[in-house]
Structure 1
Amino acid sequence: MVKLWRPLTAALVLVTLLGLAATVLSRVYSGPLLTRLLLGAAIASVGISLATRRLPSWLVAPLSVLGLTAYTAFALQVAARHAELPGGLAEVTLDAARNGVPRLLTAMIPVQAAPDTVLVPLVATWLAGLACAEVTLRTGRVLLGYLPPVLLYGGALYVVGPNADPALWPTTAFIAAAALGLVLPGRRGATPSGPAAGTLGTGKLPTAVRLRLAAGTAAGLVAVVAAGVLVGPYVAGQVAGRPVDPRRYVQPPQVESLDESPLIRISGWALHPDQVLLELRSETTGRTDNTPTGPEAPATDTDGTADRPAADAGAGNDPAADTAAERDTAAQAAGQPAAAPVRLRLAVLSDYDGVTWQVGGTYRNAGRVLPPAEPAPGAILRTVRQEITIAGLNGRLLPAVATPQQVSGSRVAYDAQTGTLIRPEGLTPGLRYEVLSTAERPDPGLLGVADVPSGAEHTRVLQVADGTPQRLRELAEQLAADNGAPYARAVAIEDFLAEHYREVADAPSGHAYPNLEFFLFGGRDMGGQRGTSEQFAAAFAVLGRLAGLPTRVVVGFDSSTGDGPVRAGDAHAWPEVLFDEVGWVAFDPMPRDDRQPRPVEEDFRPKPEKPSPPPEEAQPSISPSSPAPEVPEAVAAAPERATAFWPVIVALVVFLLGVPPAVVLFLRSRLRRRRLTVGSAPQRIAGAWREATDALRLAGHPAPDHHSATEIAEAAAALWPTATGADRGSGSGSGPSLHELAELVNQAAFAPGTAHDAQAQRAAQLAHEFTSAMRAARPRWRRLLWSLHPGPLYWR
């Protein structure tokens, strides 16, 4: 009984250590399935070694591998059924073995326990259990047997990274269990050999043995203390630090080039409107009964947004809406659920470079259950269930009603910022999947007084690309002039586009600045002022950003009934505006009906001013009968010569005073743009540093060439009181500092691989702040010469 108790206790300690490692890893997983599967692997692997400890050691590994194979097949089948993945066991196992590691490191947190996210932790737990059980139970070396569980525990901590709270109680329990295993006596039956063999019965050890034991104990104690002194401060300093996230080393799933800008596909779909792209079946539940009705009711949108009050938007004048309402009434009378229009979202385009609107999402592998979205205050929520079968749609983007909460029937990757889905393997005809979405419609009463967000975190949806045509800026200013509230500005842009432009199916594709300028201002006889929803949505988004609104473009499909085929003619693009406390709100700048659009010139062309007649006293009174006075020929010719000579002088002076400064301004602006926006992140950081050092030189404090970036930052901090006129005895001034920019420069110079775009943008911002402050500190006349100084064009 005693002989059986000791290995059982040791095996229980090992299972506890492996189970604690599984507990640490499961903190980034959803549900308890992973913990159960890994705990089962720990019990099975250690149990096989415990049961076969009397067999030869060479026979244990094959038996354990057979057990691993059987248990892995069982666990993958359970995980596949839990994730509702299609396909047989062989297909699922092959896919998990091929993609287990990248999908584990690119999965969205919380990670769903699917075959590809379970396989690697399960095999690692089994192998660690086999190794530690063999070393501990067969050889009796407990401390050495702890090495596999410790490595497994450290690996779990590394995979979790900064994505969970510190594992305090599991670490404490791990240490306590390990200490308990060390306290237990080792394997019995070992007969000592050597000088101590003959002294067992006497209870005394030879002096030489005792000296060796004392020396070994002292050496071990010194080694432990030295390790604590040397490593302890470093370990203590890392306690409050942020762990490294291994996910940054693995690239998440990407969209194909076809899906980078699906906005350009609108025109192609419009030319083939009868092509069936997918089959849709939908069911809407949880519809509220207190939705406002009448003229003040918001336009219903299954995409979860309220476009406009129905009377303003013209929804009540849409014959299709009346037909849908009649169908709903007839269906309800027959006891069937009423059909409702459904808007499927395919892609969200947030980035615009002046040429194309592009998808900028970061897609993470996700399970069947997606992270819940925080609804806006006062929003009306509805649940929409869709069953979608792919027909002619290609690419990787998966259409779904926003915002999806559950997906079954297909493996997906999810972008939480935009609420869009992709299928990493690509779409195939016949692919069938189901989506459960929560459609959100914001409170229309909040829109009129809602503000729009600003700040660095929203730069992406507020940024206007370089090269904006002047006429677009003037149009945006004119539309926003009489509309101070953000929602009023958005409605003004929406109404302007809906009333002045025509929707046609054969308009050429394109939404770059020249395309939008031709769409907005081109002559109708030449094809201008007409386009598809591509031009309408892109023009609204650009004009909105020029008017200070955070905008983006969404591409999707509109189904009038929510059931049946969705064709290419149902493809649609619409703009969205972000409001505080409300969220993203969709707008519809498309023409309301078939009325002839009003010419753009009536609202945009400036009205000519009426010329004022000259005063009467300035008119000479000349009698028709009186002869004209004679003027000598020389006197009459002099004014003509003077009039012909002075324009040449004026033109020459204007040229000499205006052209060179204009050239310098242009070249310096181009140099600044090239430094801060062109090239890799380290190159842009270096360009920002050159802008800062040029500002020091323009201010009369050039940085010595032999100084490092840190020394230049210190010198700039010391010179700042002088530049601002502050007291030199006050130390470093309160002006902008170059220390943060110097740190970015040093990082870009000595570790260029770690620099990224966010740091380059921060460096550009720091350089702009420092340059503006140095220029503002100069005298007024020197500020005028600051921008005209040609020095930065040729300084090294």
Structure 2
Amino acid sequence: MVRVLRALPVPLALVAMIGLAGAVLGAVYADPLLTRLVLGAAVGSVGVSLAARRLPSWLVAPLSVLALLGYAAVALWFTAQRADLPGSFGTVAADAARNGIPRLLTALIPVEPLPDTVIVPLVAAWLAGLAGAEVGIRSDRVLLGLTAPAGLYAGALYVVGPNADPTPWLTVAFAAAGAMALAAGGRPARLDGGPADPAAELAPGVRAALRARTLAGTALGVVVVLGLAALVAPVVARQVGTTPVDPRRYVQPPQVDSLDENPLIRISGWALNPDQKLLDVATVGSDRPLPAGEPAGTVPPIPAGDDEPEVEEESDVVPPRRIRLAVLGDYDGVTWRVGGTYRNAGRVLPEPESLLGAQAVEQVVQRITIDSLTGRLLPVLPTPREVTGARVAYDQESGTLIQPEGLTTGLSYSVASRVERPDYGLLPSASVPSGDAVARFLRVEPGAPEQMQQLAAQLAEENGSPHARADAIETFIAEHYRLVADAPSGHAYPNLNFFLFGPSNGGGQRGTSEQFAAAFAVLGRMTGLPTRVVVGFQPPAGGGPVRGADALAWPEVLFDDLGWVAFDPLPKPNTRPKPVEQDFKPPPEDPTPPPEEATASPEATPSGTPDPAAASDRDGGLGTPVLVGGGSGGLLLLLAGLATLVVGLRRAQRRRRLAEGAPAQRIAGAWREVTDALRLAGRPVPDHLAATEVAEHARASLPGAAGPGPDAGTTPDRAGGLRPAAPPVDDLAALVNLAAFAPGSATDEQARRAGELAVAYSAGLRADRPWWRRVLWSLHPGPLRWRR
């Protein structure tokens, strides 16, 4: 018994050191379950090694791995049931084993203990216990055996990084446990029945020599340790006050494609398919305000398992609330984007990085079932706090949710949301925030059309307070523009300028909620209001199917102490829009001074005889031959002047597009050159095509596009010779997508390359036209006025 008690310090120290590593890692988890699971792994792995101490060493590792599989299966089943994850246990376990490391490093902090976020720490803790027990206990190499728990502890510190408060007492406890193991290992009491001290059986002389060598080795070790401490201590001391490296910076979080980064462009497609069923919504239970004293983060329980929730009767519900699909806060003059960083999240979501003051809130639970809605964006009622039935990733700043695996028909999940109830009576006197925290919501990119700036200045000049400016913009847009379902998609500066000021009989002053919301948001930023655009759905009262006609976009303005307040710039039903010119009065241009009146009398001819023209004028007018000749010459001069003007303006337009502005703007200009060339060639681009589809359309419009031949790099010209073929625009389409969805990453070299591709393609397309078409190509004024 004494020998057994003397042998316990090393196993206990191993268990304690591994458990402390779990405590360090548990600092970034939402609850202590991870720490308990790691401690259980430490006890299990060390216990298996102790129980199998009499078996051959080669048999211990397989037995321990089998025990690890059993323990891991129980832990994964428990965490999956606890989080109510969808899918079978085999699917969940396989997904956890496959994605454990990336999910752990991309999970939103605090991390919820899920199968994929506990599997890696659990396995690492078990293997550290196995290695430490086999090396430190069975082989009596305690110092070497402690390297495995030490490596686990260091790994836990690295994974936590700067995301938790420092806990030096854990490190002190870890060092103390290691020192206890080393001290106990100096006088081992073997558990296999052998003598506690093998040196006791040796002769006295040999024993003395052995002890002398031991003392010498100990002294040398102390000297080495002290020397290393003297060398390493200053380096370690300098690192005490520095911020640890976050390993998450090296791991790419879940990504979304262009349609999910900017779902605003999907509004027009849904509007054209108003009967398409996208999802079903049912409200579970009753809305209730939070009782006094209940924390704002409290969420009501969500019915779990297969129990069908009771849905509210229509008479019991409040007016329907809009379901949010995505929040778009970044605008670069071409496209609105979410601009979020999605982190894998558990069932309970953290508080959003809100800029709000204290708000009255209600708790609402909804059951949402996906039908034909595609993509990764997860529709929810803002602001979600708990999600069951779907694996999610979360952008904490905007509150946008995605399902990384993508939406599938039949996916059903429940969402508990915190619905804020701001006091709208405070709006007239509310101010708007400023500074770095809201800079992205105030940014107006260069290149805004002059007319938009004039309209914004007019609305701001007439309305002083932030709410008055927002209300004026809302009223102006609602009263002067028409909501239609067949308006093409687009919300770049040129699109919005055409929407606001284009001729009403030529497609202008009409749009979907995409243009209404985007125009409000841009005009709001021009007047100093922090704005963003939200894409979502208006479900029917009492719940039910949500169809394409229910999709819409709306703008929001951020107010101090009130948060994001939604505005509705859509026109009221059954109202006729007022003419824009009636209320928009741009500053008058400087008047042109009238020409000076001719006062000189007709001059005589050098011969002294009267000028015939002057004589005719005195007689009552020009003669018929002079009138005809002068009129024809003036008409020809006028036409030549107009042609010269168009050619000059076209060249200036191309120069502006390809040589002026940021790289992203120049790439967009090159793309407009290509689309204008296709339109001039009689092959206009349909509005619904994406960039890659436009590239395919452009490739099919090239001469000889039927397929590659022996002269694939050349094209027969009209004279029968060969000329270089126009290049396809696939590379240009890739640059357009880069500029649209990652504008800051476009380079000058890429913009130059885009311009070269656009010019070469346009020239190749033009060269295949008849001579008279090539002349009209250069003189056509369309590119100067076409909507882009």
Q: TM-score, normalised by structure 1?
A: 0.70
Equivalence map 1:116-515=2 (5 Å): 116-184=116-184, 185-188=187-190, 189=194, 198-200=202-204, 205-206=208-209, 209=210, 212-283=213-284, 284-287=286-289, 337-338=316-317, 340-373=319-352, 376-515=356-495
- Decide whether the 8 Å contact of 1:504 with 1:531 is kept in 2: yes
- Distance verdict in 2 for CA 1:759–1:447, change over 3 Å: farther
Shift, 1:113, TM fit: 0.5
User: What is the identity, as a one-letter code, of the residue corresponding to 1:187?
Assistant: A
- Decide whether the 8 Å contact of 1:503 with 1:531 is kept in 2: yes
Partner-residue secondary structure (3-state), 1:130: helix
Shift, 1:7, TM fit: 3.0
Partner-residue secondary structure (3-state), 1:458: helix
For structure 2, the 5+ residue unaligned runs are 293-311, 611-654, 668-741, 748-788
Shift, 1:670, TM fit: 11
User: What is the identity, as a one-letter code, of the residue corresponding to 1:88?
Assistant: S
Equivalent residue, structure 2, for 1:67 = 67
Shift, 1:561, TM fit: 0.8
Deviates more, 1:32-41 or 1:266-275: 32-41
- Decide whether the 8 Å contact of 1:276 with 1:568 is kept in 2: yes
- Distance verdict in 2 for CA 1:758–1:47, change over 3 Å: farther
Equivalence map 1:536-551=2 (5 Å): 536-551=516-531
Q: Percentage identity across aligned positions?
A: 59
CA deviation vs aligned residue, 1:15-43 (integer Å, no higher than 9, x gap): 11111111111111111211221111111
Partner-residue secondary structure (3-state), 1:569: helix
Partner-residue secondary structure (3-state), 1:277: strand
- Decide whether the 8 Å contact of 2:260 with 2:375 is kept in 1: yes
Deviates more, 1:549-558 or 1:209-218: 209-218
Matched, 1:10 2:32: no
Counterparts of 2:216 and 2:523, CA distance in 1: 82
Counterparts of 1:101 and 1:263, CA distance in 2: 34
Counterparts of 1:515 and 1:18, CA distance in 2: 61
Counterparts of 1:289 and 1:33, CA distance in 2: 29
Matched, 1:526 2:506: yes
CA deviation vs aligned residue, 1:274-321 (integer Å, no higher than 9, x gap): 11000110144114899xxxxxxxxxxxxxxxxxxxxxxxxxxxxxxx
User: What is the identity, as a one-letter code, of the residue corresponding to 2:396?
Assistant: A
Partner-residue secondary structure (3-state), 1:281: strand
Partner-residue secondary structure (3-state), 1:286: strand
Shift, 1:629, TM fit: 13
Alignment root-mean-square deviation, CA: 3.4
Shift, 1:219, TM fit: 2.4
- Distance verdict in 2 for CA 1:528–1:760, change over 3 Å: closer
Partner-residue secondary structure (3-state), 1:72: helix
User: What is the identity, as a one-letter code, of the residue corresponding to 1:346?
Assistant: L
Shift, 1:376, TM fit: 3.5
- Distance verdict in 2 for CA 1:375–1:677, change over 3 Å: closer
User: What is the identity, as a one-letter code, of the residue corresponding to 1:232?
Assistant: A
Partner-residue secondary structure (3-state), 2:278: strand
Partner-residue secondary structure (3-state), 1:397: coil
Counterparts of 2:7 and 2:542, CA distance in 1: 64
Shift, 1:593, TM fit: 2.9
Give the length in aligned residue pairs: 597
- Decide whether the 8 Å contact of 1:395 with 1:427 is kept in 2: yes
Matched, 1:57 2:36: no
- Decide whether the 8 Å contact of 1:375 with 1:440 is kept in 2: no
Partner-residue secondary structure (3-state), 1:389: strand
- Decide whether the 8 Å contact of 1:578 with 1:584 is kept in 2: yes
- Distance verdict in 2 for CA 1:510–1:137, change over 3 Å: same
Equivalent residue, structure 2, for 1:595 = 575
- Distance verdict in 2 for CA 1:413–1:632, change over 3 Å: closer
CA deviation vs aligned residue, 1:193-229 (integer Å, no higher than 9, x gap): 89x96444x89714xx566445433322221122112
- Distance verdict in 2 for CA 1:182–1:597, change over 3 Å: same
Counterparts of 1:493 and 1:424, CA distance in 2: 37
Shift, 1:56, TM fit: 1.0
Shift, 1:361, TM fit: 0.8
- Distance verdict in 2 for CA 1:477–1:52, change over 3 Å: same
Q: TM-score, normalised by structure 2?
A: 0.71
- Decide whether the 8 Å contact of 1:102 with 1:250 is kept in 2: yes
- Distance verdict in 2 for CA 1:674–1:592, change over 3 Å: closer
- Decide whether the 8 Å contact of 1:340 with 1:560 is kept in 2: no
Equivalent residue, structure 2, for 1:790 = none
Counterparts of 1:595 and 1:131, CA distance in 2: 78
For structure 1, the 5+ residue unaligned runs are 291-327, 615-627, 638-666, 680-755, 762-796
- Distance verdict in 2 for CA 1:607–1:199, change over 3 Å: closer
Equivalence map 1:77-88=2 (5 Å): 77-88=77-88
Equivalent residue, structure 1, for 2:299 = none
CA deviation vs aligned residue, 1:526-559 (integer Å, no higher than 9, x gap): 1211111000001011111111111111100011
- Decide whether the 8 Å contact of 1:380 with 1:440 is kept in 2: yes
Partner-residue secondary structure (3-state), 1:241: coil
Equivalent residue, structure 2, for 1:717 = none
Counterparts of 1:630 and 1:247, CA distance in 2: 88
Shift, 1:393, TM fit: 0.1
